[in-house]
Structure 1
Amino acid sequence: MKGELLDGDRTSRSGVLAQVQSEIASANTDDEDEDDDDDDEEDDDDDDEEEEENVEEQTPGLSKKRVRASLSDLSSLEDVEGMSVRQLKEILARNFVNYSGCCEKWELVEKVNRLYKENEENQKSYGERLQLQDEEDDSLCRICMDAVIDCVLLECGHMVTCTKCGKRMSECPICRQYVVRAVHVFKS
C-alpha cells in the first residue's frame, strides 16, 4: 500500500512536471512567434499597401454596389449611345424585350431606342387618359358607376345618382337624410 502511494505521488509529480515543461516550451515558442510577428508586421504592412493598390486598380469603387440600369434612368435618346452592352441588355430584359439574335451593339441600341420612344408615348397617352377619365368619373353615378348622373334627391338636393339608382335609395349616400323623392334632371 505504501508502494502504491509512492507510485501515485511519483505519477502526480511527473504529471505536474510535464505540464510545467509544456508551459515553458509554449512560452518560448510564443516569444519566438512575437519576435517573428514584429518582422512579419513590417513586411505585411508593405504587402497590404500593395494589395490595396492592386484591388483599387482592378475594381475601383469596390465598396459601392453596382447600380442596375433601367429605362427610367434615361433622360434622352442620346443617353442610350453611351451605355455598355451589359446595361442595354439589362434594360431590355427588365422590360421583357427579347434581344436574342442581336450580335452587335447597334442592334441593342436600336431596340432600347424603340423601347424608350414607346415608353414616352405610353406615358403621354396615359396622362391624357387620366384627365379624360377624371372628367368622366365626375359625371358617373356614384352607386352603379355606369350611368350618367341625372337625378336629384329631394329634401337634401344632392345629385350623385342616376334615376334608376335614385329611385331605389331610401337615404342619401352623402348626408344620410331620408329621400322623399328622386326627380329626373335634364342637363343643358
Structure 2
Amino acid sequence: KPDGAWDIKSPTLNDLADEFAVDSLTIPQLKRLLVDHNVAQSGLREKTEFVEEVKRLWRTHRHLSSSASCDRTCCVCLNAVPDCALDPCGHVAMCYKCAVELTDCPLCRRHVQRVLRIYFAV
C-alpha cells in the first residue's frame, strides 16, 4: 500500500449526490476516482484542479447514466456500440477504435483533447 492510499474509503461516482459533493472529498479520494476511471492526472497540482477534473468526470458519468442506450451504434463505423466519451464536449456517439483516430468530434466539431473509455454494467 503506497502511503496508505488504499486505506481511505473512496466513494464511487454513484455515491456522489451531485457535483458539489466533490468539493468535500480529500485529495487522495479525488486521485482514487481519477485512477479508477483511467483519467490522467499529469499537470494537476492544486486541489481545485483535482476537484474540477472529478466534477467533469461526474458530469460525464451522470450524462451517460441518464441517456446511454446500448442499442445505438457508432456514428463513424456504424457497426460497434459507442463505448467512450470525448473530452471536453462529452459526446458519446462512437466506439473507442474510431474515437482514437479523430482529432475533432464529428457531432460538434470541437477539438478532442482525450477519449475516455466507458464500461457499462450488464
Compute the TM-score of the two structures, normalised by the length of structure 1: 0.32
Name the structure where helix makes up a greater proportion of residues.
Answer: 1
Pick the structure with greater CA Rg: 1
Larger RCO, structure (CA 8 Å, separation 6 or more):
2
